[in-house]
Chain A
Amino acid sequence: VLTVDAVFKALADQTRRQLLDSLRDTAGQTLTELESGLGMTRFGVMKHLKVLEEAKLVTSRKEGRFKYHYLNAAPIQEVADRWIAPYQKPFTRFALDLKHQLESSVPMADKPNFVLETYIRTTPRRCGMHSPGPSSRRSTITARGSTAS
């Protein structure tokens, strides 16, 4: 839980996001390199790096006099899995469903503009509206198939 708070706090700052982007582009930068890349003071970079390191978003490796910084994207992935994906999926689903519905369904006017009524000496059952299976419906329809002119 603490990590999640720390991640959100770390990400809630434009400069820190720039630092992450910079480390994503070029891994293993020193403080001096980050400083010049972002045009910030050494103190500013250090302050922000501390927040990022507390959130485990940045790890570092010391070698002699130098400290090399690396992006650690795992906490972001965890936050994404927990807080983004579950919300994203239903929404994406909804959007896709809506798209499908709008593209496939037929826009319907308020009133039909073609109506034809007739009276047939028969029974409802013989009209074939009781799911008769494709073959008998087909024969009903194609028996007078002269409309395909």
Chain B
Amino acid sequence: LRQGGPFRYLTGDGQVMLDGEVIEIEPMKKIVSSFIPSWAENSQPTLVTFAIEPLGEVVKFTITHHDYEKANAGIDTGWPVVVAGLKTLLETGKPLNLPTSM
């Protein structure tokens, strides 16, 4: 990961699910990336920031999304699922297998 480099989310079989570019990176603090979902129609590139902040035993993890509705990608329901999965994975070492309807 480096500024100007790709920030891609791949599906299990290697397809680009979500494309993006690293706009800004602060190691151990935050990553700002463009957000170009392949599954969304009439979607405009938007900007997403992932930030982490150690707080004692835990880490505060923040996702901020600018103009998320322009992505037209189900951001408001999608990110909570992603974050839940990440939290479970990091805390238990196992993926969170959600019902596929989500």
Contacts and interface: CB of A to CB of B under 8 A. Distances in A.
Contact of A120 (B47, B50, B61): B61
Contacts, number: 144
Contacts of A113: 65-69
Given A108-B66, A138-B10, A144 B84 contact: yes
Given A129-B27, A146-B100, A116 B59 contact: no
- Which secondary structure dominates chain A's binding surface? loop
B62 A115 contact: yes
A143 B85 contact: yes
Interface string A88-109: 0000000000000000111111
Interface of A: 104-109, 111-127, 129-131, 137-138, 140-149
Given A131-B27, A141-B9, A147-B81, A119 B58 contact: yes
Nearest to B100: A146
A118 B57 CA distance: 13
Interface string B2-18: 10000001111000011
Contacts of B72: none
Interface in B79-96: 79-91, 95-96
B65 A114 contact: yes
A108 B75 CA distance: 16
A107 B81 contact: no
A119 B28 CA distance: 16
B91 A142 contact: no
- Interface majority SS (helix, strand, loop, mixed), chain B: mixed
Nearest to A110: B66
Contacts of B58: 119-122
Given A138-B9, A146-B100, 14 more contacts: A105-B34, A108-B66, A113-B69, A114-B68, A115-B63, A115-B65, A120-B91, A121-B57, A121-B59, A124-B59, A129-B30, A129-B50, A130-B27, A138-B10
A114 B75 CA distance: 8
Contacts of B27: 129-131
A120 B29 contact: no
Nearest to B17: A148
A112 B10 contact: no
A122 B59 contact: yes
A144 B82 contact: yes
A147 B96 CA distance: 12
